[in-house]
Amino acid sequence: MYREEIEQYIEAHKQEMVEDIFTLCRINSEKMPYEEGMPYGRGAATALAEALALAEKYGFSITNYDNYVGTADMNDKEKQLDILAHLDVVPAGEGWKETEPFEPILKDGLLLGRGTADDKGPAVAALYAMRAVKELGIPLSKNVRLILGTDEECGSSDIEHYYDVEEEAPMTFSPDADFPVTNVEKGRLEAHFNASFEPSAALPRLVAVNTGIKANVVPGKAQASVEGFEMSVLEAAAEKTEKETGVKFSFEMADGVADSSIVNITAVGEGAHAAFLESGNNALTGLLTLFQNLPFADCAQIQTVRGLLALMPHGDITGEAMGIAMKDEISDRLTLAFSMLKVTDSSLDGVFDSRCPVCATEENVLYVVRDRLAAIGVTLENKEMTKPHYVDGDSHFVRTLLRVYEEYTGLEGKCQYTGGGTYVHNLKNGVAFGATLPGTENRMHGADEFAVLEELVISAKIFAQVIVELCS
């Protein structure tokens, strides 16, 4: 129904869509310091104003929610479908070769520039889907609303602000992931824990550990200082540990003094995102394995550190030793990444990041972790965890998305899960849907980020057809 008209319209407006994407991508909309009336800074507010101006030009009713979120409505009928996208971007970063981050170009069928894939390109594709339905005069009995946020990359406080005053639509999809449909997002326990103990001067001793950059990053490098070891003992333990873990070690005398009794240790593994930790090799747990192979003088500090390793041993990414290993058919297994640790002579603070399947609860994850840590003298600070998100894959909503996707791409439509989180995680009937086809690695968040033009074009067609199917 209306497929031929939709396809012809989007093809005829392809170049115009590219120009509108580039208009938004020329704006640096990364989060900046607060200015009056601009909660996320001038860049995000400018991008929102420009996007709303485009929507208004194309005949949509717009609303600006205090520069947190903007919306464009197809009509004033009953609420039915929300399309939830975002205009903020991650910082440009270094290493760009094809173009400057905020000077988007079209080259060999690729739109290159920060935000082309995440998420300005998909946002404009959604706008053009609405424009196609409107200008083709396709009758709708219910409303579709495009919601444009400006803080997705730094916590989604924009959406919290929006839903404080607006109700969730019966159906919501976010074009901020991969096709087909992501209807399951794992829960998360970002576990913060600490301990204190009496200092000990007995040698050899652990002076300090200070490792990890973010809770959701498997550390590729870990650092510590020890005192009272012969270099030959350290090197022998490092050789043994490298064979066990694959983590490499280097040693440097503190302050560069050859006869210093304090040695700085650097462990090097392979960093990874905690949601996809299988590709990493955790330098922190490798470092703690080295400690297991060193003859430290006994004290409460080293006992506690070794207790943590026993609960999160190197290579255990499923939480088995912690007692929380589990999996289900919908969202696969639980994962756990020990990501941050700071140790002094009298205290310890650490973080691990666990992504939890649909079968996870506070009773079988949070409470178990609390008790296991308490048994080694460590206190878990968390009182709750982020619950998993699941939308029925057999619902009319999801089945419609999958069917339209199959019709327009010829590819298999199926539900999938993610260990990451999207804008829709806290929405009762929200899923991620597009705008990247399977197998495309668009360097999202990296240098030379790109979107495939034809993928955005087909996304616009799919979104338009979905609007017709769900709102007419």
Average pLDDT, rounded, for the chain = 95
Contact 354, 338 (CB under 8 A): no
Q: How far apart are CA 418 and CA 189, in angstroms?
A: 15
pLDDT at residue 255 is higher than 80: no
pLDDT at residue 11 is higher than 60: yes
> 188-380 sits in which CATH class?
alpha beta
pLDDT value, residue 257: 53
Element (H, E) at 337: strand 335-343
Quickly state the pLDDT bin for 175 (edges 50, 70, 90).
very high
pLDDT value, residue 93: 86
Q: How far apart are CA 368 and CA 355, in angstroms?
A: 15
pLDDT value, residue 256: 57
pLDDT in tens, 118-159: 999 999 999 999 999 999 999 999 999 999 999 999 889 999
Q: Could you tell me the two tokens for 90?
A: 């991650």
DSSP for 403-471 reads: HHHHHHH-SPP-EEEESS--TTTT-TTEEEE-EE-TT----TTSTT-EEEHHHHHHHHHHHHHHHHHHH
Average pLDDT over residues 201-226: 93
Nearest to 23 by CA among 139, 127, 108: 127
pLDDT at residue 269 is higher than 60: yes
State percent of the chain over pLDDT 70: 99
pLDDT value, residue 216: 86
Contact 158, 54 (CB under 8 A): no
Average pLDDT over residues 441-448: 87
pLDDT at residue 189 is higher than 60: yes
CATH number of this structure's domain 2-186+389-471, picked from the four choices 3.40.50.2000, 3.40.630.10, 3.20.20.140, 3.40.50.9100: 3.40.630.10
Quickly state the pLDDT bin for 259 (edges 50, 70, 90).
low
Contact 411, 395 (CB under 8 A): no
Which three-class secondary structure state does DSSP give residue 353? strand
Average pLDDT over residues 208-234: 93
Contact 356, 365 (CB under 8 A): yes
pTM: 0.83
Average pLDDT over residues 296-322: 97
Q: Cis omega before residue 204 (within 30°)? A: yes
pLDDT value, residue 66: 97
pLDDT value, residue 446: 86
**Phi and psi torsions of 73, nearest 5°:** -105, 140
Which three-class secondary structure state does DSSP give residue 390? strand
Domain extents for the chain? 2-186+389-471, 188-380
pLDDT in tens, 63-118: 999 999 999 999 999 999 999 999 999 998 889 999 999 999 999 999 999 999 99
pLDDT at residue 258 is higher than 80: no
pLDDT at residue 217 is higher than 70: yes
pLDDT at residue 379 is higher than 80: yes
Quickly state the pLDDT bin for 432 (edges 50, 70, 90).
very high
pLDDT value, residue 306: 97
pLDDT at residue 260 is higher than 70: no
pLDDT at residue 44 is higher than 90: yes
Number of residues assigned to the chain: 472
pLDDT value, residue 471: 97
17-31, 92-106, 362-376: the lowest-pLDDT one: 92-106
Quickly state the pLDDT bin for 422 (edges 50, 70, 90).
confident
Contact 297, 227 (CB under 8 A): no
Q: Could you tell me the two tokens for 241?
A: 């540990």
Nearest to 435 by CA among 420, 426, 422: 422
